[in-house]
Amino acid sequence: MRCGPLTEGRSWLSIRLCRVQPRHRTECSAGYNAVLPTLDHTCALRFEAVTQSFPKPSGEAHTALEGVNLDAAAGTFLSVVGPSGCGKSTLLNIAAGLLQPTSGAVSVFGQRLDGVNRRASYMFQQDALLPWKTVRENVALGLTFRGQSAAESNQLAGEWVRRVGLQGFGDSYPAQLSGGMRKRAAMAQSWIVDPDIVLMDEPFAALDVHTRLRMENEILDLWTGSGKTVLFITHDLEEAIGLSDEVAVLSVGPASRIIARHKVDLPRPRNLIDIRTESGFQELYKTIWSGLRQEVLRSYEQD
């Protein structure tokens, strides 16, 4: 098997065989993925011919996604862009195991996904902070659900509160935070459980442009060297290029499918404040946008 673009001649991801953390092996021997063939480690997430239909109120089926093929090599940052309503969140819900595809399959490190994806954490578009819990308690939630002791959870949550720049706000409640601060708390919430895969659904879409840039830089800081695989959903092409190793384009719905995959070989570390003015960035933007704009225009025609 390979973990790379499915189109001919674009198999650059297939040579990235070694960006897998030793802890995968630890987890494999400890539990749910007892035997993993070595090559399967290259693919953190793989969608094969995934189709998702929903029943319409009329009783007919609405096919949101049809025959989606996509894979993310372990340790890479993959973004999916596409017009509004094309099925981006649906794709992420399938990766999280919250939705069982109508047909096709998803595999996680070579194992067919059946039920909730326990190797992934999910950062939703709207943060899921509990209003009656403090920031530190919210950040600790994932550890608490795992059965970690209150003392351990509290200590680690305190460290993450500082790590995402919320020092001094651990005892505050979500309503006392700005939008950017809430995002920081949500980020800590999804990274504290040390997932192999981080699923993010337009997490910064509601932020003002400057806060958004800061958060994007911070997500890159967290991800760099972590070995984690990120599947990042956005409708913002600049954001996708700035963050990613690869950008995949979903066509307009219904029956959306992946219509292009583009490698982003801009050097890292990246400074997202300046990267947009670089010629390599702009060239890539033009190339990807030439395909995406048709999908966006078609989506306008449907409105």
CB of 98 to ligand ADP, least distance (A): 10
Residue number, 54 or 132, with CB nearest to ligand ADP: 54
CA atoms within 13 A on the CB side of 159: 8
Among 3, 44, 50, 64, binds ligand ADP (CB under 6 A): 64
- Work out whether 87 is an interface residue with ligand ADP (CB under 6 A): yes
Residue number, 170 or 253, with CB nearest to ligand ADP: 253
Judge whether 233 and 79 are in contact, CB under 8 Å: yes
Peptide bond into 254 cis (omega under 30): yes
- 87 binds, options ligand ADP, Mg ion, none, Cβ within 5 to 8 A by partner type: ligand ADP
- Work out whether 41 is an interface residue with ligand ADP (CB under 6 A): no
CA diameter of the chain = 56
Distance CA 123, CA 281 (A): 26
Q: Which residues contact 260 (CB under 8 A, 6 or more apart)?
A: 248, 249, 288, 291
Pair type for strands 246-250 and 258-263: antiparallel
- The H-or-E segment that residue 145 falls in is helix 135-145
Among 45, 78, 86, 258, binds ligand ADP (CB under 6 A): 86
- 90 binds, options Mg ion, ligand ADP, none, Cβ within 5 to 8 A by partner type: ligand ADP
- The interface region with ligand ADP, picked from 18-26, 82-90, 192-200, 291-299 by CB under 6 A, is 82-90
Distance CA 233, CA 250 (A): 11
- Work out whether 300 is an interface residue with ligand ADP (CB under 6 A): no
- Work out whether 180 is an interface residue with ligand ADP (CB under 6 A): no
Instruction: Give how many residues touch ligand ADP by CB under 6 A.
Output: 12
- Work out whether 89 is an interface residue with Mg ion (CB under 5 A): yes
In total, the chain counts a number of residues equal to: 303
Instruction: Name the residue type at position 205.
Output: A
CB of 84 to Mg ion, least distance (A): 8
Pair type for strands 229-234 and 197-201: parallel
CB of 57 to ligand ADP, least distance (A): 9
- Work out whether 257 is an interface residue with ligand ADP (CB under 6 A): no
Judge whether 119 and 195 are in contact, CB under 8 Å: yes
- The interface region with ligand ADP, picked from 29-37, 42-50, 85-93, 189-197 by CB under 6 A, is 85-93
DSSP 4-51: S-SSTT--GGGG------HHHHHHHHHSS-----GGGGGEEEEEEEEE
Residue number, 57 or 269, with CB nearest to ligand ADP: 57
Residue number, 62 or 214, with CB nearest to ligand ADP: 62
- Work out whether 54 is an interface residue with ligand ADP (CB under 6 A): yes
CB of 194 to ligand ADP, least distance (A): 27
Encoded tokens for 47? 């969608």
Distance CA 60, CA 174 (A): 41
Binding site for Mg ion (CB under 5 A): 88-89
| Interface ranges with ligand ADP (CB under 6 A) | 54, 62, 64, 82, 84-90, 253
